[in-house]
């Protein structure tokens, strides 16, 4: 990529561009997009879009539509030296420390403090570098859960993005079986590459990470491994609510779910969906704007009908997109 298009934006607009953006993905010259804070005191943010060819008028108009505050702003267009966009895009991503975890890009690999668990996650097509409040909140909540003495042996990271949260879970509970899934195949390839960079073992056994392309929990490997002691879902409020019955069915009684990707005003709706499925709120973390919820699934006592079994007699623990 050798062209950079920059436009001013607000913090809210920058946050809204943290996940998948179908309008950009549909463009022939689909860009890699990064947002960064320019002036904290003034609340100034900037959107940077990197493309391989001179930016088209359609690209600029799409960017303006996504950030209404910049509709009248003239974009800054710059041709970059070969591969310079990589360095520039990483410079905007500062290291993040959450709990015992320190997440950094390759440009900060020489500045890792002692006494932390470090993961190198570079900007990519997948969401979840650690710089967003939702991801940092999940890392802190995982650390908090471990310090409470929790010891899950079967873990699922639904909507894994870059794989970061699955890596952190596997570090905290190194004997656990962990599976990470995402609806976007590109995310699974990014996660596989990140696993190699961070020396995370891939596989299907204890102490290994299995990968799967899946919409929510809809995958043979996920169904076979369920119920889970811990389910992590850092996605968006809408999908979280839609997936509430599936995540509940995939969580063992007494198990936990860590939910993030929602904003503060959506929290009660998400909680209502999961309370209806037998969860209770065990803890709230994250930031004021981006809460991270730790839910516990209530245990059931006395007579009850047998729950639907997920296991099959001879299940395939993988299919296309699984590792």
Q: Which residues are annotated as a binding site?
A: 135, 159, 182, 234
45 near 6, Cβ under 8 Å? no
Task: Give the C-alpha distances (Å, rounded to integers) separating 58 from 24, 31, 87, 168.
Answer: 10, 12, 26, 40
Q: Is 173 left (phi over 0), alpha (psi -120 to 50) or beta?
A: beta
Exposure string over 176-215, b if 16+ CB within 10 A, otherwise e: bbbbbbbbbeebbbbbbebbeebebeeeeeeebbbbbbbe
In 3D space, the residue among 192, 103, 108, 115 whose CA is nearest the CA of residue 140 turns out to be 103
Task: Give the C-alpha distances (Å, rounded to integers) separating 4 from 40, 50, 126, 131.
Answer: 23, 5, 19, 21
Place of tokens 């904290």: 40
193 near 293, Cβ under 8 Å? no
Q: What are phi and psi of 199, to 5 degrees?
A: 55, 40
Sheet containing 154-158, strands listed edge to edge, beginning at the edge strand earlier in sequence: 209-213, 177-182, 154-158, 228-234, 251-260, 291-297, 279-286
Q: How many CB atoms lie within 10 A of CB 306?
A: 5
- Range list of β-strands (E), the chain: 3-9, 32-39, 44-51, 76-79, 96-98, 101-104, 117-120, 154-158, 177-182, 209-213, 228-234, 251-260, 279-286, 291-297
Given CA atoms 51, 57, 62, 67 in this order, what sign does their dihedral have? positive
Q: Which residues are annotated as a binding site for S-adenosyl-L-methionine?
A: 135, 159, 182, 234
Structure token pair of residue 229: 């002691």
Structure token pair of residue 144: 């908090």
């Amino acid at each position: 990529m050798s062209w950079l298009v920059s436009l001013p934006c607000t913090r809210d607009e920058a946050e809204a561009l943290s996940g998948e953006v179908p309008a950009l993905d549909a463009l022939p010259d689909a860009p890699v997009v990064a947002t960064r804070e320019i002036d904290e005191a003034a609340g100034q943010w900037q959107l940077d879009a990197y493309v391989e060819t001179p930016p088209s008028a359609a690209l600029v108009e799409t960017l303006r539509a996504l950030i209404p505050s910049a509709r009248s702003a003239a974009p800054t267009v710059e041709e970059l030296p070969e591969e310079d966009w990589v360095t520039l895009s990483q410079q905007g991503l500062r290291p993040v420390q959450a709990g015992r975890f320190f997440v950094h890009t390759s440009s900060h690999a020489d500045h890792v403090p002692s006494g932390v668990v470090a993961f190198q996650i570079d900007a990519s097509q997948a969401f979840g570098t650690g710089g967003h409040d939702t991801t940092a909140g999940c890392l802190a909540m995982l650390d908090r859960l471990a310090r409470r003495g929790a010891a899950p042996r079967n873990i699922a990271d639904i909507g894994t993005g870059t794989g970061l949260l699955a890596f952190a879970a596997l570090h905290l509970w190194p004997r656990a079986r962990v599976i990470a899934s995402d609806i976007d195949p590109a995310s699974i390839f990014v996660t596989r590459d990140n696993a190699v960079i961070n020396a995370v073992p891939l596989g299907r056994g204890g102490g290994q990470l299995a990968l799967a392309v899946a919409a929510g929990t809809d995958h043979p490997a996920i169904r076979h491994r369920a119920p889970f002691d811990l389910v992590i879902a850092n996605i968006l409020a809408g999908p979280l609510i839609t997936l509430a019955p599936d995540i509940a069915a995939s969580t063992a009684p007494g198990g936990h779910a860590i939910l993030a990707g929602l904003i503060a005003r959506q929290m009660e709706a998400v909680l209502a969906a999961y309370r209806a499925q037998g969860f209770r709120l065990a803890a709230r973390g994250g930031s004021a704007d981006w809460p991270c919820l730790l839910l516990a699934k209530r245990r059931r006592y006395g007579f009850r009908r047998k729950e639907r079994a997920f296991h099959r007699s001879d299940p395939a623990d993988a299919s296309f997109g699984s590792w």
